[in-house]
A and B are shown apart, each in its own frame.
Chain A
Amino acid sequence: MGGGAPMDLIAVGRDVLARGKRFPGDLEVFVEQSETTSIKAYQGEVESLVTGAPRGLGVRYVEGSRWGYAYTGDFSRAALDLVVSMAVSNTAVSDSDEFVKLPEAPDAYSEVPGLWRSALLETPLEKKIHLALEAERVALASPHIETVEESSYVDHASRVAILSSRGVEVYGEQTFCYVYLSAHARRGDEVQTGLGFNTGREPGELDASAAGREAARKAADLLGARPCPTGRYTVVLDREAAAAVIGVAAQALSADAVQKGRSLFAGRVGQRIAADSFTLVDDGLHLDGMETAPFDDEGVPRGVTPLVEKGILSGFLHDTYTAAREGEGARSTGNARRGGYRVSPGVLPSNLVLTQGEGTLDELAARVGSGVYIVGITGLHSGANPVTGEFSVGAYGHMIEGGAIGSPVREITIASDLVSLLTNVSDSAGDARWIPFHGSVLTPSLAIFDVTVAGS
């Protein structure tokens, strides 16, 4: 892989492993460093410009089937000694668990081309600033748009090394950038908000104008919105809303949740949990995915894992621990993930890919006939429970009447339970888009019947 690392992460990792040699157990070190730029534009000026190169490393130590974890953002020799000794002493209190172990070095990793684009770091700051300003300018030039609260350009060039005393030694790097803005439309006293975004691996892939138009259109379209009557409706979830539902369901597809009694899908492999048309795959190698990488956060090769095939539950996501605990031929699916160097890995999806249907959104609305088209969901974190399956969230969007998307609605809730939501999926459009907000999800707009909508 290309790109000259400003700091040799493998060397740092080897240094840490060497410091751990005097202890009898196995040791793993995860080292990361990224370079990041974040620009916010406001009223044609740069409001803030943030640059940094955050770094850190985390150490997992295993002895006598017990874990210990420690991390540091300080890479001095004293700190590296300290982090190793903390990880070792942290094993003293934990309970032993026969399935606790570090992964062995794999035979090979898949090649995943194109994750690193040196153009991201080579692009002059002025061009990045221009993207944030351009998104704002286009939104402000659109009908009804009064303000753009913030228009941002953000990029990361991330580097990771994972090494262990079991022979894992792997290095990866990737770039990622996006523009994001929130526009406000006003008519009289009424204000409505719309979000627009665009993602890529280098600034040249970003279409700031498209993001600006998207935010402006979404805000203006909602002007005049009111609650609709309470009742049961067929809802059409736009891709962002569909990604939210899939993201919640996926939490119950982790083997960790299943093994610990926190999944409503426990014991249901081979059974129907969703409609015929519903096929969901975790694809850690998809070239367009934002969570794509050759290896997961404990150095295990990423893979492609079928989760739901034509409505039938086919399996769960595993890391090394849950696979060992499962026994009988179970293997890590390469889904160990961590939210940075401060935390040890857990099971999480990589890229979730839902099979799409046919036609445009308008054609889907025509097939549905009447219902509510949901553009956005609010309160997902507090209103969706992947353990109990309860699902009740705030929403806004448009009525579907006579097969067409019509008047805007807001201040409504949509409520059901996860199993009903999945089994009542009746149709989908052929408009799949990558959504970066609830993990990384590729999903079309989804029609789901018999959902309770509370409004006026």
Chain B
Amino acid sequence: MKESSLGITPALADAVLARALRHGGDYAEIFAEDRSSLSVRLDDARLEEVSSGIDQGASIRLVKGPTTSFGYVDALDEEALLRLADRLSASVKGASALPASVKVVQLRPRPEAGVRPASVETTTKADILRAVDAAARGRSAEVRQVAAGYSEGRQRIWVAGSRGTFANDDRTRVVLSVNVVAQRGGVIQTGHETLAGTLGFELFDGGAPVRVALEATEKALVMLDAQPSPSGRMPVVLANGFGGVLFHEACGHGLEADFIVKKTSIWEGRRGEKVAESFVTALDDGVTPGMWGSNAIDDEGTPTEATVVIEEGVLTGYLTDILRGEKLGLASTGNGRRQSFRHLPYPRMTNTYFARGTIVAADLIADTPRAFYAKSLSGGQVDPATGDFVFGVSEGYLIEGGRIGPAVRGATLIGNGAEVLRSIDVIADDLEIKAGMCGKEGQAVPVGTGQPTLRIRELTVGGTAV
């Protein structure tokens, strides 16, 4: 495909925005997208399938008063966009609102993309998966099944808004995921690990895929020895990395400005309040290159940033997009995100994490007489209105007398965001951020979740043992 046929130009944006606003409106925006992807799947010791594809399209959003009208076309052609602008403008009755002429947003320089995944032979990608399979099976005869997936995507976007912005972004993401099934007698366990980033094929340099395979394998093997998890209220130590699901579920969703605007978040009206101990600081960082939830601009064309949402225990900020920010009298924090051109943008997290503390994680554990230790989490869910959250533990242990003791299986942690934030009593210095997918409004977007190892005074652990 010729580069020149891609995207939209500022001149076309001016024409389409003028048409969209010809019967009035407060804001109009075009979002155009060109996406290509490739995925390779290995399962049951066979390279099962290679799949690739392309999608292209554009949407227009027209905002007037309380109402947003939105439509999209599965093509990037001028005629189709103008027709769509006409159709949306027909729903509005009034005098033409003149859009500002768009100007290209100058972004701070970004590091050059590394090795373009599309430039690497598919056989190399298949070989990585075969190496993952061999490493997992070679680790133990108890490994009964391995599924490994590689996928790459390149998404180019162009966003033009009637207040005069025109921005574009070129995003490359790669992911490797490994699922291992281990069995001993009648006991089956699974282990899952992912390596993902907003960067090129260099992510897989230096034996990284085999390390990921062995991590997933260890999880499954360790859990073969696990006892049923206890249940009831007890202290909980959450390990670094995926423990960050805690902030994401317990706090992050409730800071998304759509919930704040509708007053359906427990954090509404609480900026400036002390919500945690003074050693707790938390960020949403969409700007650091390479991280899974990072982009140069968000999906409304706003440059991304690192937003401090809790500073030394005080709630300092919300995560906003253009519309909700405006309703709150705040600028967009660059958190307007969408799954594709077929979706409306919403305020979404990028990469969220608690900032590092000062003590060493091993000392934190040694200082803990008895606790549930959640080494790895499998995801979670929250009701932002009540703050009630839940997350599943995929690798858990008991801490007894300052030592990590037996593995326990089948536990879910449940609590309330506001309460759990107040009951964090230590944060270690081993910050790590993991990749995941976040679902909201039926849209999935890549997010990073992270934290250093931390301890919560008390939380409800839901296992089968009473």
Contacts and interface: CB of A to CB of B under 8 A. Distances in A.
A50 B344 CA distance: 8
B181 A452 contact: no
Contacts of A264: 188
A319 B75 CA distance: 34
- Size category of the A interface is 35 or more
Interface string B13-39: 000000000000000000000000000
B463 A454 contact: yes
B410 A390 contact: yes
A342 B339 CA distance: 14
A46 B69 CA distance: 9
B410 A184 contact: no
Interface in B142-187: 144-145, 147, 181, 183
Nearest to A341: B53
Given A74-B75, A454-B462, A381 B379 contact: yes
Interface stretch (A88-96, A158-166, A435-443): A88-96
B74 A149 contact: no
Contacts of A385: 190
Nearest to B190: A387
B461 A454 contact: yes
A123 interface: no
Contact of A49 (B48, B69, B233, B263): B69
Given A230-B231, A260-B145, A92 B70 contact: no
Contacts of B54: 71-74, 79, 82-83
A344 B51 CA distance: 8
B219 to A, nearest CB: 12
A170 interface: no
A378 B69 CA distance: 32
A242 to B, nearest CB: 18
Where chain B touches its partner, the secondary structure class is: strand
A95 B129 CA distance: 12
B52 A94 contact: no
B40 A83 contact: no
Interface in A80-112: 82-83, 86, 90-95, 97
Residue among B54, B381, B463, B464 with the highest chain A CB neighbour number at 10 A? B464
A455 interface: yes
Given A52-B342, A90-B50, A230-B232, A193 B69 contact: no
A271 interface: no
A383 B385 contact: no
B416 interface: yes
Interface in A220-269: 227, 230-232, 259-262, 264
Nearest to A387: B190
B392 A379 contact: yes
Interface in B43-93: 43-44, 46-57, 59, 65-72, 74-75, 91
A224 B13 CA distance: 53
Nearest to A146: B263
A95 B390 contact: no
A454 B91 CA distance: 52
Contacts of A94: 46-50, 126
A415 B231 contact: yes
A221 to B, nearest CB: 14
A390 B72 CA distance: 42
A200 interface: no
A98 B34 CA distance: 37
A42 B262 contact: yes
Nearest to B461: A454
A342 B53 contact: yes
Contacts of B190: 385, 387-388
A381 B381 contact: yes
A363 to B, nearest CB: 29
Contacts of A393: 390, 392, 412, 462
Interface in B231-262: 231-233, 259, 262
Contacts of A75: 74
A73 B34 CA distance: 10
Contacts of B75: 74
Interface in A340-366: 342-344
Given A42-B262, A54-B342, A413-B460, A48 B70 contact: yes
8 contacts: A97-B48, A262-B181, A343-B51, A387-B181, A391-B410, A396-B388, A413-B390, A415-B231
Interface of B: 40, 43-44, 46-57, 59, 65-72, 74-75, 91, 122-123, 125-126, 144-145, 147, 181, 183, 188-190, 229, 231-233, 259, 262-264, 266, 342, 344, 377-381, 383, 385-386, 388-392, 409-412, 414-416, 460-466
Interface of A: 42-43, 45-56, 58, 67-75, 79, 82-83, 86, 90-95, 97, 147, 149, 184, 191-193, 227, 230-232, 259-262, 264, 342-344, 378-383, 385, 387-394, 396, 410-417, 452, 454-456
Given A68-B50, A93-B123, A379-B390, 18 more contacts: A45-B65, A46-B66, A68-B51, A72-B53, A86-B53, A95-B47, A149-B262, A149-B264, A191-B386, A260-B44, A262-B145, A264-B188, A344-B49, A344-B51, A379-B412, A379-B414, A392-B412, A452-B465
Return the 6 tightest CB-CB contacts between A and B, nearest first: A413-B462, A382-B392, A394-B390, A382-B379, A379-B390, A454-B231
